[in-house]
Chain A
Amino acid sequence: MLDQTVYLCRRVLRNIRQSPVLCSAAIGTVAVALTILTFFALIVVNVQLLASHWSEDIQVVAYLDNAPQPTRLKEWRKLIEDMPEVARVTYVDSEEAMRRFSTRLGPDSDLLEGFDAEILPASLEISFKAEHRSRKAAEAVVARLKQNPDFSEFSYGQDWLERFESFLDMLRIGGGVLGVFLLFAALFIVGNTIKLTLYARRDELEIMSLVGATSLFIKTPFLLEGALHGAMGALIALGGSFALFQIFLQRGLASLLLVSGGGQVVFLAWHQQLLLIATGIILGLIGSILSLRKFVRI
Chain B
Amino acid sequence: MIQLYNVCKSYQKDSSSALHNLNLKIPKGDFVYITGPSGAGKSTLLKLLYCAEKPNRGQILVNGQNITRMGSRHIPYLRRRTGIVFQDFKLLENRTLFENVAFPLEIQGKKRYEISNKVYQTLKHVGLHGKLHKYPLQLSGGEQQRVAIARALVIDPLILLADEPTGNLDIDVTLDIFDLFKGANARGTTVLLATHNREMIRRFPRRVIALDQGKLVEDFTP
- Which residues of A pack against B, CB within 8 Å? 3-4, 7, 18, 203-204, 206-215, 217, 298
Contacts and interface: CB of A to CB of B under 8 A. Distances in A.
Contacts of A212: 76-80, 104, 107-108, 155
Contacts of A3: 109, 111-112
A211 B50 CA distance: 10
Given A203-B92, A210-B84, 12 more contacts: A207-B90, A208-B103, A209-B79, A210-B90, A211-B103, A211-B151, A212-B76, A212-B107, A213-B107, A215-B76, A217-B76, A298-B72
B75 A298 contact: yes
A7 B92 contact: no
Given A3-B111, A298-B72, A298-B75, A211 B104 contact: yes
Q: How large is the interface on B (under 10, 10 to 19, 20 to 34, 35 or more residues)?
A: 20 to 34
A203 B75 CA distance: 19
Interface string B61-88: 0000000000011011111100010000
B103 A207 contact: yes
A7 B90 contact: no
A298 B76 contact: yes
Nearest to A208: B107
B90 A203 contact: yes
Contacts of A4: 109
Contact of A210 (B72, B79, B109, B111): B79
B218 interface: no
B50 A210 contact: yes
B109 A214 contact: no
A297 to B, nearest CB: 8
Given A18-B94, A206-B90, A211 B72 contact: no
A213 B90 contact: no
A210 B103 CA distance: 11
A213 B92 contact: no
Q: In the complex, which of the residues A7, A18, A204, A211 has the most CB atoms of chain B within 10 Å of its own CB atom?
A: A211
Contacts of B94: 18
Nearest to B77: A212
B219 interface: no
Given A4-B109, A217-B107, A211 B79 contact: yes
Contacts of B93: 203
A204 B78 CA distance: 19
A208 B109 CA distance: 13
Q: In the complex, which of the residues A207, A208, A212 has the most CB atoms of chain B within 10 Å of its own CB atom?
A: A212
